Amino acid sequence: MTLDLGLLLVCILGVGFLAQWLAWRVRLPAILFLLPAGILMGPVVGVLAPDRLLGPLLFPVVSLAVALILFEGSLTLRFSELREIGRAVRGLVTYGAVIAVFLLGVAAHYLAGLSWEVALLFGALTCVTGPTVIAPMLRTVRPNARIANTLRWEGIVIDPLGALFAVLVYEAIVSRHQGHTIGVFLAVVASGVLVGLLAAWTLAFLLRRQMIPEYLRNYGTLVAVLLAFTVSNAITHESGLLAVTIMGIALGNMRGVHIDDILDFKENLTTLLVSTLFILLAARLSWPLPDGVLWSGIVIFLVAQLVVRPVTAVLASIGSALSWRERALIAWIAPRGIVAAAVSALFALKLEALGMPGARQLVPLVFILIIGTVVVQSATARPLARWLNVAEPDPNGVLIYGSDQAARVVARALVDAGFHVVVADEHWDGIRQARMEGLPTFFGFPASSYAERHLDLTGVGRLLAMSNNRERNALSCVYYRQEFGRGKVYRLTNDDAQATDGRVQLGGDLAAPALFEAGMTHERFLERLADGWRIKSTRLTATFDWPNFIEQYGSPTVLLFGVEEKGALRVASEKRELEPRPGWTVIALVPPEAAP
């Protein structure tokens, strides 16, 4: 079965998008859907043959894509974060990773028959757990804060470090196989490091001095990364991957270089590349797999899951504050992801070209381990967390940005209704008053880089932007829309003009649903509180329903929230009028003459 080339390329992009969308919808890692999609399109159905489709372009395309993936991953590593992470994370990403490489290499050598060189490369590739697989799994598992932070930081830190380690192992193998001396290997490493540092310094110099216009920064960075990769390879063969990894680490740690837009662009580009790359690489697999590969891969997965990860987790957490229950869950969760799949496929292509024995087994073994860890851990981690009593409840908590009287009375009403609330603000006076009232607080702007590291959002699933700063409210909504979802962020309109005048209304992605009712503004809310209005919480019944509530407290009553019988919070907004039912608890702002 053959398809037109253009139609086939569009199908690859479309299938990749559907896999990513499905992963987002069911909150599972996208790899779980991308790899089977590639196998289905390739060896099973036969519509996709990457070697025939791309021909001599296959190797350069894969190489450049992997270079961009490694650069994006290494760009997120901050040396300052290495000092801030706990003892357990430091153990997992240092000597724990070395132990994992050795044990996985031993398993691959004795169980799959790989040479020691390829087996150690397998270990270096599969010791990595990345944030792209950890993040969706944590959203599903919802462990407590210490477990979530440990696993999240492990994925963030070990992703670029593991890639760097795998590249070094690969360079050593190639140098030895080609009869190169240790001097040649050191020259490869030195070339990659120097080219990477020079490229990072040059790009940073241009960015700091505004020599690249804003709209060309992403384009220029893309060109710089690919140029560093190809120039380094031209100077010293096979040093390009090391160069882009060093370039990303260096650029991400330079002061005065604003890389947020670049990082966003690279993340979007990486999503596209990963989706396309995984489908192409999975389509190259022989199916059914060669004799012995499937069973040896399954046994290696069992060893990795039941022996390697528990051993490394226990040794790495010695002396930490983690309980045995927390260590047990950490010892179970270690899904492999993007770096392992993408880099292993590239290395396999290169090693096959060199005639290295066992190179063809590398990719299927890595893919079996990826699929095994993602499937098994996604299916079992949540029940295990509950059994160990280390799982957090559903994210029904609320983050309130703002700490003036309006924000505090709303926070108090939600706390009294049994919800976890965090009041966040960069103004100390309001935060101090909130603390005096016994409210949980965070001193700082909730969309800041400081908040990324220190604001604990465990159990929190909504944002109410209620500060008196319109622009910061909008920024908070845009920021937390990615974290909580578009339907879970709200803002309190700041002035009457903003609510009615189209010339000053926020538009596009800046406009989150307005809280409570049409015309309700921050100033009006404060005025009503000053006039004696109070918040009233009442459980509705069949004999005292919402119309009875309105009749008792008056038609000016403003419904703020509804709490369903099962405890789910419903937020009243201008675009979503609530219809409280018997059994709900309503939280409303009632006039002073009606308040008891």
For the domain spanning 59-282+289-387, the CATH number is 1.20.1530.20
**Amino acid type, 53:** L
Pairing of strands 534-539, 558-563: unpaired
Q: Sheet with 489-491: list strands edge to edge.
A: 441-443, 421-425, 397-401, 460-465, 489-491
The pLDDT tens digits for 514-535 are 877 777 888 888 888 888 888 8
What is the percent of the chain where pLDDT is above 70? 85
| CB-based contacts of 296, cutoff 8 Å, min separation 6 | 111, 112, 113, 365
Say if residue 432's pLDDT is above 60: yes
Give the residue-averaged pLDDT of 117-124: 86
What is the percent of the chain where pLDDT is above 90? 4
Q: Tokens 């979503």 map to which residue?
A: 576
Q: How far is CA 208 from CA 204, 243, 255, in A?
A: 6, 22, 10
**Mean pLDDT comparison of 111-115, 259-263, 563-567, highest-scoring range:** 111-115
State the pLDDT at residue 306: 92
Per-residue pLDDT band at 499 (split at 50, 70, 90): very low
Domain ranges of the chain: 59-282+289-387, 397-590
Instruction: Select the CATH number that applies to the domain covering 397-590 from these four: 3.40.50.620, 3.40.50.1820, 3.30.200.20, 3.40.50.720.
Output: 3.40.50.720
As to burial, measured by CB atoms within 10 angstroms (0-12 exposed, 13-18 middle, 19+ buried), residue 82 is: middle
Q: How far is CA 512 from CA 374, 422, 522, in A?
A: 35, 20, 15
Say if residue 302's pLDDT is above 90: yes
Q: How far is CA 328 from CA 126, 151, 312, in A?
A: 20, 12, 12
The pLDDT tens digits for 162-216 are 666 777 777 777 777 766 556 666 777 788 889 889 988 988 888 888 888 878 8
SS3 421: strand
Per-residue pLDDT band at 355 (split at 50, 70, 90): confident
Distance CA 180, CA 195 (A): 21
Q: How far is CA 393 from CA 353, 377, 415, 570, in A?
A: 52, 19, 16, 17
State the pLDDT at residue 453: 63
Q: Pick 533 or 132 by higher pLDDT.
A: 533
Closest of 565, 554, 564 to residue 588, by C-alpha: 554
Give the range among 107-111, 530-534, 563-567 with minimum mean pLDDT. Answer: 563-567
State the pLDDT at residue 287: 66
State the pLDDT at residue 595: 47
This prediction has a pTM of 0.64
Say if residue 468's pLDDT is above 80: yes
Give the residue-averaged pLDDT of 363-369: 84
Per-residue pLDDT band at 503 (split at 50, 70, 90): very low
Give the residue-averaged pLDDT of 449-458: 72
State the pLDDT at residue 370: 83
Neighbours of 280 (CB within 10 A): 24
Reported as type and span, the H/E element at residue 66 is helix 58-75
Distance CA 40, CA 568 (A): 40
The answer for 27, left when phi > 0, alpha when psi is -120 to 50, beta otherwise, is: left
Mean pLDDT, rounded, of the chain: 79
Asked if residues 143 and 391 have their Cβ atoms less than 8 Å apart, the reply is: yes
Say if residue 544's pLDDT is above 60: yes
Closest of 452, 480, 458, 339 to residue 81, by C-alpha: 452
Where b means 16+ CB within 10 Å and e means fewer, 142-180 reads: bbbebbbbbbbbbbbbbbbbbbbbbbbbbbbbbbeeeeb
User: Per residue, what are the HEC states of 137-152?
Assistant: HHHHHCECHHHHHHHH
Distance CA 132, CA 129 (A): 9
For the chain, give the longest Cα–Cα distance.
91
Distance CA 543, CA 536 (A): 18
Per-residue pLDDT band at 80 (split at 50, 70, 90): low
107-112-118 Cα angle (round to 5)? 80
The pLDDT tens digits for 37-52 are 888 888 787 788 777 7
Instruction: Give backbone dihedrals phi and psi of 416, rounded to 5 degrees, phi first.
Output: -65, -25
Give the residue-averaged pLDDT of 319-338: 84
* DSSP character at residue 305: I
Give the residue-averaged pLDDT of 146-151: 79
